[in-house]
């Protein structure tokens, strides 16, 4: 166990307790100040049940076991627990880099800050400010009801995957109903639609202020997809690592299958693709599909794994935008993902690359809409951002 590995293990342990939004130094300090408790849990979790109060009880208990074993075995200790580092909403991070948006980049930890930034909390803070400044009587009632990061998380999180104001309104209502179901008293009586629609409007506009680049980028992508639908062309592109992508959503025709089973007529309805493009799915799907072609094995994840392997890392665990390695290798992996980010998004203009690939597929005389304006973000700043993945 190296000193760097010990720090990463401590930070991982505290994060599983519930301090994942705190600076690394505070996470490590929490474990050091509670080392007796952590060791008791690790040595006998059935006697010391405090671990059940953690945000992630089972993961926290397992981390405590690793810490306890490290202290017991001393220099002979060899760790075998993966510690994880997660992106701060990777889709929004990518849009901020594609559009070179410094505001969204800071909100999603692409650029460095002393403490980890929480984009969902920033949206919630703007919503509260709007409610306070508005004369609408719903505003004071929503403030009294309580607005926090959970109020805005789902709406913000799903934005980069193609969500619209209508889904924002739906998620806002679902959050409200869950709060009421858990015991909070509604300040609106039997009225729900108009108050939730009012709050959704505040959330949607606040999202646009914090991560404006995502909305601008998605608007451009949808307009491109609509152009392909109008000209009956199937969009195709290649990911940064050379993976081919073909995006073809077809309409379907219904077919009824009737079968006699034991003297009883059973009827089933199937839907068979008919080769015609499904306009709605094509336009809605291009945003998440393009983002995933950039963040997955064909893009950032794949390049990160290649770099990490070249630095000697052989064993990796990934879940979506979370990367897990042994704590002794965490610093190297942390550096690898940031270097891969600069290679893919700093050295190359991925939006321009996509536009060039798509433009040659359209009929003569048909042009793509102009690329959206880009800001002044220096993507190499991510090399200094310790909370980009954390």
3-state SS string for 56-92? CHHHHHHHHHHHHHHHHHHHHCCCCCEEEEEECCHHH
Q: Is 365 left (phi over 0), alpha (psi -120 to 50) or beta?
A: left
pLDDT greater than 80 at residue 160:
no
Over the stretch 300-358, which tens digit does the pLDDT of each residue have?
A: 999 999 999 999 999 999 988 899 999 999 999 999 999 999 999 988 899 999 999 99
Give the pLDDT of residue 157: 83
Residue 170 makes CB contacts below 8 A (sequence gap 6+) with none
Give the pLDDT of residue 383: 95
pLDDT greater than 90 at residue 214:
no
Give the pLDDT of residue 241: 95
Residue 241 makes CB contacts below 8 A (sequence gap 6+) with 297, 298, 299, 302, 303
Determine whether 256 is exposed, middle or buried from the number of CB atoms within 10 Å of its CB (0-12, 13-18, 19+).
Answer: exposed
Q: Residue range 91-109: average pLDDT?
A: 91
C-beta of residue 241 within 8 angstroms of C-beta of residue 295: no
- In angstroms, the Cα distances linking 268 to 124, 254, 260 are 47, 10, 11
Output the 3-class SS for 24-35.
HHHHHHHHHHCH
The pLDDT-based confidence of 363 (bands split at 50, 70, 90) is very high
Give the pLDDT of residue 12: 94
State the Cα–Cα distance between residues 196 and 152, nearest whole angstrom. Answer: 12
Q: Residue range 176-180: average pLDDT?
A: 91
Determine whether 197 is exposed, middle or buried from the number of CB atoms within 10 Å of its CB (0-12, 13-18, 19+).
Answer: middle
Q: Residue range 237-250: average pLDDT?
A: 94
Strands 317-319 and 264-277: unpaired
The pLDDT-based confidence of 72 (bands split at 50, 70, 90) is very high
C-beta of residue 92 within 8 angstroms of C-beta of residue 210: no
The pLDDT-based confidence of 118 (bands split at 50, 70, 90) is confident
Instruction: Please choose, from the candidates 99, 349, 106, 84, the residue with its C-alpha nearest in 3D space to the C-alpha of residue 217.
Output: 99
State the Cα–Cα distance between residues 110 and 388, nearest whole angstrom. Answer: 5
Give the pLDDT of residue 333: 93
pLDDT greater than 90 at residue 159:
no
pLDDT greater than 90 at residue 192:
no
Give the pLDDT of residue 69: 92
Over the stretch 244-287, which tens digit does the pLDDT of each residue have?
A: 999 999 999 999 999 988 889 899 999 998 888 899 999 989 99
pLDDT greater than 80 at residue 1:
no
pLDDT greater than 90 at residue 191:
no
pLDDT greater than 80 at residue 97:
yes
The pTM assigned to this predicted structure is 0.85
C-beta of residue 355 within 8 angstroms of C-beta of residue 113: no
Please state the φ and ψ torsions of residue 201, each to the nearest 5 degrees.
-65, -40
pLDDT greater than 80 at residue 162:
no
Give the pLDDT of residue 382: 94
State the Cα–Cα distance between residues 284 and 148, nearest whole angstrom. Answer: 29
pLDDT greater than 80 at residue 87:
yes
Give the pLDDT of residue 367: 92
């Amino acid at each position: 166990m190296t000193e760097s590995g010990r720090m990463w293990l401590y930070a991982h342990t505290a994060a599983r307790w519930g301090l994942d939004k705190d600076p690394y130094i505070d996470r490590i300090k929490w474990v050091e100040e509670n080392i007796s408790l952590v060791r008791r849990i690790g040595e006998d979790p059935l006697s010391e049940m405090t671990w059940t109060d953690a945000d992630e009880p089972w993961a926290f208990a397992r981390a405590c076991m690793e810490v306890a074993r490290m202290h017991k075995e001393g220099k002979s200790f060899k760790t075998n627990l993966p510690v994880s580092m997660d992106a701060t909403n990777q889709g929004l991070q990518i849009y901020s880099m594609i559009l070179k948006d410094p505001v969204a980049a800071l909100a999603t930890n692409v650029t460095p800050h002393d403490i980890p930034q929480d984009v969902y909390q920033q949206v919630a803070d703007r919503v509260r400010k709007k409610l306070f400044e508005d004369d609408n009587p719903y505003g004071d009632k929503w403030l009294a009801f309580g607005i926090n990061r959970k109020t805005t998380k789902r709406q913000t999180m799903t934005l980069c995957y193609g969500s619209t104001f209508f889904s924002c309104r739906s998620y806002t209502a679902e959050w409200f109903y869950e709060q009421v179901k858990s015991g909070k008293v509604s300040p609106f009586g039997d009225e729900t639609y108009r108050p939730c629609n009012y709050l959704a409007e505040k959330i949607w506009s606040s999202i646009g202020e914090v991560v404006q680049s995502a909305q601008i980028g998605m608007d451009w992508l949808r307009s491109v997809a609509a152009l392909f639908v109008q000209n009956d062309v199937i969009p195709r592109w290649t990911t940064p690592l050379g993976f081919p992508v073909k995006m073809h959503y077809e309409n379907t025709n219904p077919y009824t299958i009737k079968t006699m089973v034991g003297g009883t007529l059973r009827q089933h309805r199937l839907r068979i693709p008919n080769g015609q493009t499904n306009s709605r799915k094509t336009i809605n799907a291009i945003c998440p599909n393009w983002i995933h072609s950039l963040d997955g094995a064909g893009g950032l994840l794949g390049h990160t794994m290649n770099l990490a392997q070249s630095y000697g890392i052989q064993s990796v665990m990934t879940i979506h935008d979370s990367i897990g390695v042994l704590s002794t290798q965490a610093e190297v992996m942390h550096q690898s993902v940031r270097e891969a980010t600069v290679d893919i998004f700093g050295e190359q203009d991925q939006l321009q690359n996509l536009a060039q690939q798509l433009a040659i597929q359209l009929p003569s005389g048909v042009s793509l809409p102009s690329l959206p304006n880009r800001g002044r973000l220096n993507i190499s700043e991510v090399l200094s951002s310790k909370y980009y993945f954390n």
